[in-house]
Structure 1
């Protein structure tokens, strides 16, 4: 899961971009302390940074130069100040791309992915799924909570994987059952309920409560509802 730090003074734009990128299974943080952007980047360790030019205290050019002293993390400028001088300045200060406001979220996502591919190549492929403190390792089908391993059966792992791939959205019971057991009409519907109950108990024992939400008569979901 790629980590994105959004450095944007407009909270509406920041939230809109963050919500959209999370639907693409990206882990997102919106900068809060505009006097310490370099410290936020060091703490979060993002794979890519979205940086506005006009910011409180210091502008995006300044923070790009500060981050570049210690990191080569890709930085994509996002700004309404899109004259040639500012675009050239953004590139000269170490930026990797420049996106003008207003912008389309799909185009923004495509450009971010292109920068990530150029920067990391084959390493871009994510081998984990994360939602809050819960992480699934797709290589060995294991789970963990805040780094502590949680033992999961094959079906439990597949249920969590199905829900975490669609975090923020309700997944129907039918969709989950088809993912696990195909079109086997003889599978008892109660089997899914039993598996979900076991997952909840294991996560609660690891310190995470109410991770899987129930939409009565529809299905289950994880994460904040969109």
Structure 2
């Protein structure tokens, strides 16, 4: 079966985030089923030169633990829900059947100014979490940055089109925006996931004591 690919703009249950695209296999599209929960987080980019990730297309690949079917969340940073002096990001919210899931791969598409460059995690991340019926599972915020190279011609640093993600939590901001967008879900329990440290060079965790519930 072909997955449904849609922009989150204008969809009520799946949110209306700017610049975010989601792909969900047909058999996991169950927003009307009683065992549905909600996966939520934010994805964006650093805006600080030369490590800005605004020119990167970032894709997170998820799957249920018992299947190899991919759920993808992509962001090209054309527009955003949140902007600060250093970052831009957008919320994603996806209704999914309850069960165990994992974030297994990250990819980036960028350019070094001459050619298109693809970056991908060298091995599966297998960062696990669960979706509970009637609950919101919050994964945190993923911010893309470009790796930096030095120009031999101009002797200056520039974004080389290869990316990495920094993971942290913007709990109060994202939770407030989620419930503001979906007042019909305001009574749902909000569950913050503590993702385990990954050994991939493409995913960095902000040092902190841990997320708030």
Shorter-normalised TM-score: what interval?
under 0.3
- TM-score w.r.t. the length of structure 2 is 0.24
Which of the two has greater helix per residue? 1
More strand by share: 2
TM-score (norm 1): 0.23
Name which one, 1 or 2, has greater alpha-carbon Rg. Answer: 1
Which one scores higher on RCO, CA 8 angstroms, separation ≥ 6?
Answer: 2
